Structure 1
Amino acid sequence: MSDQRLNPHLDTPYRNAWRRLRGTMVTVALFSACVNILMLTGPMFMLQVYDRVLSSGSVATLQGLFLIVVVLFMFLGLYDFLRTRALSRAALRLDQEVGQDTHDLWVRSALLPGGETSRPLNDLAVVRGFLPSPAMLGLFDTPWIPFYLGVVFLIHPWLGMLAIAGVGVVTVVALLNQLTTKDYHAQAMRMDGAESHFVDQSRRNAEAIVPLGMAGRITGRWSDMHREGLAVGQTGSDRAEGYAAFSKSFRLLLQSALLGLGGYLALQQEISAGMIVAASIIAGRALAPVDAVIGQWRSIVRMREAHKRLKALFDGQAAKRPTVDLPPPEGHLHVSGVTKFAPMAERGERPPILDEVSFYLAPGDAVGVIGPSASGKSTLARILVGAWAPDVGTVRLDGATLDQWAETALGKHIGYLPQNLELLAGTIRDNIARFDPQADDGAVIEAAKIAGVHDMVLQLPDGYATRLSYENPPLSGGQLQRIGLARAIFGMPRYVVLDEPNSNLDASGDDALSQAIVTLREAGSTVIVMAHRPSAIHAVNKVLVLHAGRVAEFGEKDKILQTATRRRTPGDAPKQES
């Protein structure tokens, strides 16, 4: 992995999607300019009515002005609709462009330390929902505050200075709102993510939680987490609500102050009566975007944090190495000096999970990897299929490291049955065929027969069309494991890794597993079996013994087992029992 680089920050799917939205944002800014200019229609109409119509008593002038106002307000509504529609379509386009990449990264994040709490799809939903929101429109209106202040200043400098002072106060309030609430909102969102992860864990483990009498305590733990998260979020909301209420009341006070000052200036014959009302309305319009931003501050913070997490997620992905179309592998597996440290650990801080593991397998070989619990068998399985990368060392298939293959191309030649198996929502056929809609039904049935699950599937009401779902799984643990085995050997891959493949199997399942390994070996496949139960390695020809992450022994099965048998002298028995 040393030759992989992080994606350059200026070239990720998420950043590129935002870059392609620049034209839309410019268009929205232009529509916002039209909207904000047309917002002067009401105050200007009122100014003309007070200063021109009432003084002249001309009905024709009033009718002409009103006709102009009707046309201008029609354009105002049109431009406001168009900018909202543009933002809505931009949100849809953003989701369409990065949705698949985001889902892919979400799936892959489960392979990273701490990745189980990542919720990039939720973050994308937050960003998508924010774009056409009133808060986003308020941000586009904010740059027009100086324009409105300038208009008020043109009416009279004193009114302009009062309005500028009012905007300054509201701006300070907005900054204080940000400074005093951002930490609470950020912490509340982190706690919400942890709570969501705990809820998902609780539901997935209900089968153990309820019988063990843990349901009440788990609910109590969730209640504590939920209450703490709400308390932190409410503290931030209380402060934000206080700032929002002050800003709103101050805006009303400022408008009244402008009316009062305008009345004084009118008495001094410096402005007209219409200018009094016009200045008050325009100044109120200048403060409206700030009010909108303060009122929607929590959603703005949520969007900002979600946007930052998405950028960091995409930026942190290792750049894809260029690949070529390598020929189908024959099954020569070279594992050289593979070392893997515990997550978040560096060399020397903790003993490695795997330490300098090396071995070689030829096509047709099947090795049983045995050893006590925590000896590193599952970690080795994940590294052998590329789910995890070794910290030191290499895994080569036919001389090429796994990352030299195109992922989809290599996947066709790999079979993998993980220790913790969960089939996905879909039909049994879908799961065996690895959700390939172009998969041949004959290949699906062949894999099921090799795994010894074909007859069992036919006994189900819908056969291979039986739909699996989380809410109502129709299969037992052993049946699921055998279907997982069928998925692993679908297409007769040349490289198969089985992690505890018989942990839920009965005697007939063990026989089917052994026969499947024999069939794979006869076809020239290389098979690695991580095993606790001896029946899992019945059909292998080699054994690798792991102890504390190191290779204790490796060689022909009969030789290794005979050596182990000779070591079990009668004098050792009491020691082992003690």
Structure 2
Amino acid sequence: MANDTEAVGTIYKHALGRLRRTFVMVAFFSAAVNILMLTGPMFMLQVYDRVLSSGSLPTLQALFAIVVVLFLFLGLYDFLRTRLLSRAAYRLDQAVGPAAHDLWMRSALLAKPVTVRPLNDLSVVRGFLPGPAMLGMFDLPWIPLYLGVVFVVHVWLGWLTVAGLVVVAALALANQWTTRNHHAKAMGMDGSESFFVEQSRRNAESLVPLGMAGRVTTRWDSMHREGLAVGQVGGDRAEGFTAASKAFRLLLQSSLLGLGGYLALQQEISAGMIVAASIIAGRALAPVDAVIGQWRNVVRAHEAHKRLHKIFADAPKAPPRINMPDPQGQLTVAGVTKYVPGLRAGERPPILDMINFQLEPGDAVGVIGPSASGKSTLARILVGAMQPDHGEVRLDGATLAQWSDTDLGRHLGYLPQKLELIAGSIRDNIARFDPDADDNAVIEAARIAGVHDMILQLPDGYATSLGFDSAQLSGGQLQRVGLARAVYGMPRYVVLDEPNSNLDAAGDDALSSAIMALRERGSTVVVMAHRPSAIAAVNKVLVLHGGRIAEFGPKEDVLQKSVRPVAGLPKEKV
């Protein structure tokens, strides 16, 4: 992960810049490889014109010994340039991967869904670097060398090779022009399809019982077929150009042999020059042919490269920060307003409208109200997972943005309404994946959340693995482990969004005890409540209705008023 002083937008650019020296070395070895590629044709020329005419066996042996040494160096240099590109791809991934993952993860906080996946694009670029197309691009500058050798053999052969090269280049440009849009569109559709597939799998728990699985699969099949059709059009054209280029190159070699035979009959070149010129001309066209043959990968890598540049360039720049003192828990919410996203500015109704309240350290407020009153939106804004359109949230007088995520996270606890633990052990999840976490602090958090005994009943206790093909927890167990994660380290500022939606009576008691423990240690707690048991341990209540504050104050005063039609909570049960 890049440090805070390095702008996110420059990470990819700087990572490529640091590969410049590697590319220079690859270019050097490519020069050696392309020069040594003349070994075979030159050996053949010498055998035809010198050895066969003289009948000298020692000359043949000496030439062959030289050829063996040169081919050994050719293999070594070719290996070294491939290895350099492979290592360059690895270093690029290591330099950009953490930042790409961070950008992808943070994109989930955006109101607009993001289908661009920087990790997938980075994988495409990483796979392209050591591939044959990249090697072909390093060989392209050496085409004039082979053309020059062919001109030395005979000027007619040289011009025929140039004409053939022009035709092959024209085919390559036509290939790029006719397939570019189709390949780019197909890759964009593939990103949307992948997003849909991920959504389908994540929501299988509701899609299958509701009988939607077949219809969702039909929708995916429609998207998939459309993407394949667009990609196939570009693929068909690219395959046509590839076949045409290959056939023309074979025709050109035969034409060179025919012209060479004619020139040999005219006593203008030797028999050995015929074969040598044909091989060298074929080598001149080989890099172009290699690039055309890999054109689909070239386009994919180019599009992935552009998307990586764009996503890093568009990434929000982190403001300069200083090391803030540890917060004490004074929370001020001033004029927070959030509109429904996606509509034009004048047509967006507010989700939250001018929310104002203040809490002191040790306060716990229960935010109650009917469904769609804005409780979860307020929770996300209070922890910085969503930005308000107007207004601000301040902790100890400073906005949340004045802390870095890492610094603020040590003092903030958050239990979202939709909770999913990350693949890893239960200890890892409670400790927020801190490798230096103290086991005693992990156990203390579990005890506060009332989940310690439950964890000990699992096969591996705190080392029980969660995630794919591992132990699965019930909704209540999951929520209580999430509560333990929220209170880990006894943060001074805690936001719990409907923390008891999956809890039984024992879980409710544990939640109340956790809130009281936090308050006793001076923490500020905000609880979004839909069930009355969630606010048993709070000292203040905030009633939301239609995105606005209907009531706010001490719990006893607010609950003495008529909150039944506003909050939907039975007063006698609170």
Please, what TM-score do these two structures have when normalized by structure 2? 0.93
Letter of the 1:273 counterpart: A
- How big is the shift at 1:146? 2.0
**Structure 1 Cα separation of the partners of residues 549 and 8 of structure 2:** 39
**Structure 2 Cα separation of the partners of residues 46 and 171 of structure 1:** 29
- Deviations, residues 13-46 of structure 1 (Å, cap 9, x unaligned): 2211111110000000010011111111111122
**Structure 1 Cα separation of the partners of residues 341 and 293 of structure 2:** 42
**Structure 1 Cα separation of the partners of residues 162 and 67 of structure 2:** 28
**Structure 2 Cα separation of the partners of residues 565 and 284 of structure 1:** 86
Range moving further from structure 2, 266-275 or 487-496? 266-275
Classify the secondary structure of the residue corresponding to 1:348. helix
**Structure 2 Cα separation of the partners of residues 177 and 18 of structure 1:** 27
**Structure 1 Cα separation of the partners of residues 6 and 195 of structure 2:** 27
Q: In structure 2, do the counterparts of structure 1 residues 275 and 487 end up closer, same or farther at CA, with 3 Å as the change threshold? A: same
Contact 2:464 2:471 in 1 (8 A): no
Match of 1:224 in 2: 222
Could you tell me which of 97, 116, 119 is aligned with 1:118? 116
- Deviations, residues 131-178 of structure 1 (Å, cap 9, x unaligned): 111111111111212221222122222211111111111111111111
Could you tell me which of 479, 482, 487 is aligned with 2:480? 482
**Structure 2 Cα separation of the partners of residues 451 and 158 of structure 1:** 87
| Unpaired stretches in structure 2, ≥5 consecutive residues | 567-574
Contact 2:115 2:192 in 1 (8 A): yes
| 1:21-420 equivalences in 2 (<5 Å) | 21-345=19-343, 347-420=345-418
Q: In structure 2, do the counterparts of structure 1 residues 346 and 468 end up closer, same or farther at CA, with 3 Å as the change threshold? A: same
**Structure 2 Cα separation of the partners of residues 150 and 337 of structure 1:** 75
**Structure 2 Cα separation of the partners of residues 305 and 478 of structure 1:** 45
Letter of the 2:404 counterpart: A
**Structure 2 Cα separation of the partners of residues 109 and 282 of structure 1:** 52
**Structure 1 Cα separation of the partners of residues 51 and 462 of structure 2:** 82
**Structure 1 Cα separation of the partners of residues 364 and 458 of structure 2:** 33
- How big is the shift at 1:7? 4.6
**Structure 2 Cα separation of the partners of residues 386 and 238 of structure 1:** 49
Range moving further from structure 2, 51-60 or 86-95? 51-60
- How big is the shift at 1:77? 0.8
Contact 2:341 2:348 in 1 (8 A): no
**Structure 1 Cα separation of the partners of residues 109 and 201 of structure 2:** 21
Contact 1:36 1:141 in 2 (8 A): yes
- How big is the shift at 1:5? 13
Match of 2:14 in 1: 16
**Structure 1 Cα separation of the partners of residues 22 and 558 of structure 2:** 69
- Deviations, residues 237-257 of structure 1 (Å, cap 9, x unaligned): 111111100000000001111
Letter of the 1:244 counterpart: T
Classify the secondary structure of the residue corresponding to 1:423. coil
Please, what TM-score do these two structures have when normalized by structure 1? 0.93
Match of 2:570 in 1: none
Classify the secondary structure of the residue corresponding to 2:350. coil
**Structure 1 Cα separation of the partners of residues 556 and 514 of structure 2:** 20
Contact 2:186 2:228 in 1 (8 A): yes
Classify the secondary structure of the residue corresponding to 1:353. strand
Q: Cα RMSD between the aligned structures?
A: 2.1
Percent identity, aligned pairs only, is 73
**Structure 2 Cα separation of the partners of residues 154 and 567 of structure 1:** 96
Q: In structure 2, do the counterparts of structure 1 residues 5 and 38 end up closer, same or farther at CA, with 3 Å as the change threshold? A: closer
Q: In structure 2, do the counterparts of structure 1 residues 146 and 552 end up closer, same or farther at CA, with 3 Å as the change threshold? A: farther
**Structure 2 Cα separation of the partners of residues 41 and 29 of structure 1:** 19
Contact 1:5 1:319 in 2 (8 A): no
Match of 2:423 in 1: 425
- How big is the shift at 1:55? 2.6
Range moving further from structure 2, 408-417 or 254-263? 254-263
Classify the secondary structure of the residue corresponding to 2:553. strand
Range moving further from structure 2, 82-91 or 438-447? 438-447
Letter of the 1:380 counterpart: L
**Structure 2 Cα separation of the partners of residues 33 and 551 of structure 1:** 73
Contact 1:335 1:359 in 2 (8 A): yes
**Structure 1 Cα separation of the partners of residues 6 and 379 of structure 2:** 26
Letter of the 2:244 counterpart: F
**Structure 1 Cα separation of the partners of residues 155 and 287 of structure 2:** 23
**Structure 2 Cα separation of the partners of residues 321 and 363 of structure 1:** 28
- How big is the shift at 1:50? 2.1
Q: In structure 2, do the counterparts of structure 1 residues 170 and 532 end up closer, same or farther at CA, with 3 Å as the change threshold? A: same
Contact 2:333 2:356 in 1 (8 A): yes
- Deviations, residues 270-325 of structure 1 (Å, cap 9, x unaligned): 22222222211111111111111111111111111111222222222222222222
- How big is the shift at 1:346? 5.2
